[in-house]
Amino acid sequence: MLMLQISAAHGPAECQLAVKHALRVMGDEAEHLGVVLTLLEEVPGPHGWLSVVLSLQGDRAASLARAWVGSVQWVCASPLRPGCLRKNWFIGVQALPVAAELPDDDTIVFQTCKASGKGGQHVNKTETAVHARHVASGLSVKVMAERSQLANKRLARALLAARLAVLVQSKHARDREMTHGMHRQVQRGQPVRVFRGPDFVA
């Protein structure tokens, strides 16, 4: 399983829209390639998403990930601010580290809760969503991608492992006076993908 994060970083509201569009296009491409794309975590914003974390599974998952990792440019007049002269918006796509599973011990505290969103009455009647907190680091995630509590626990453990790996990498980066976090300014120039217009067309 691979994990990707799509982030608006510190970009304006238009970048939140770009994340929303990118998620839709990536989903279409995943379906075409036979890749199972699962939304694991989302940070909503007023106009879309500040960031989302996805899992990719399938024989062509790595190929799909390679096509997206890096800076993504959206060339479009602002649909939110008429008269805005700026037409170039940038978001970032980052592969989260592939981390070993966390040890199956009491360092993770699980709490179950009812899921929200799509799924009809099933998500409202059963506690399938999972809050997971890694005690030592204080990191926590909420996963409700699957209809099974057990499956959501497995995804939560994998997401926590990836988050911990990011923390370790960030510490090493700071030690080398480098920062690789997604929630910094997205690099502009040399985008890996360019989309144009309000329909986000490549």
**Does residue 135 lie within any of the structural domains?**
yes
Encoded amino acid at 200, one letter: F
Placement of tokens 């978001």 in the chain? 91
**Does residue 123 lie within any of the structural domains?**
yes
Asked if residue 81 and residue 45 are part of one domain, the reply reads yes
**Does residue 67 lie within any of the structural domains?**
yes
Asked if residue 76 and residue 13 are part of one domain, the reply reads yes
Asked if residue 91 and residue 10 are part of one domain, the reply reads yes
Residue count of the chain, please give it: 202
Query: Residue 128: which domain range?
Result: 108-175
Task: State how far the Cα of 171 lies from the Cα of 182, in Å rounded to an integer.
Answer: 14
Asked if residue 131 and residue 32 are part of one domain, the reply reads no
Q: Are 143 and 130 in contact (CB under 8 A)?
A: yes
Q: What is the CATH number of the domain that holds 40?
A: 3.30.70.1660
Asked if residue 89 and residue 48 are part of one domain, the reply reads yes
Whether this prediction's pTM lies above 0.75 is answered by no
Asked if residue 188 and residue 171 are part of one domain, the reply reads no
Asked if residue 41 and residue 126 are part of one domain, the reply reads no
Taking residue 147's Cβ as centre, other Cβ atoms within 10 Å add up to 13
Asked if residue 79 and residue 40 are part of one domain, the reply reads yes
Asked if residue 128 and residue 169 are part of one domain, the reply reads yes
Q: What is the pLDDT of residues 129-187, one digit of tens each?
A: 888 888 878 888 888 888 888 888 888 888 888 888 777 666 655 544 443 445 555 66
Asked if residue 85 and residue 7 are part of one domain, the reply reads yes
Q: What is the pLDDT of residues 61-94, one digit of tens each?
A: 999 999 999 999 999 999 999 999 999 999 999 9
Q: What is the CATH number of the domain that holds 129?
A: 3.30.160.20
Taking residue 114's Cβ as centre, other Cβ atoms within 10 Å add up to 12
Asked if residue 191 and residue 153 are part of one domain, the reply reads no
Asked if residue 116 and residue 160 are part of one domain, the reply reads yes
Task: State how far the Cα of 53 lies from the Cα of 41, in Å rounded to an integer.
Answer: 5
Average pLDDT over residues 115-121: 53
Count of structural domains, the chain = 2
Strand partners, 131: 111, 142
Quick one: 70 exposed, middle or buried, by C-beta within 10 A (0-12, 13-18, 19+)?
A: middle
Task: State how far the Cα of 199 lies from the Cα of 76, in Å rounded to an integer.
Answer: 9
Q: What is the pLDDT of residues 11-48, one digit of tens each?
A: 999 999 999 999 999 999 999 999 999 998 889 999 99
**Does residue 103 lie within any of the structural domains?**
no
Task: State how far the Cα of 90 lies from the Cα of 182, in Å rounded to an integer.
Answer: 12
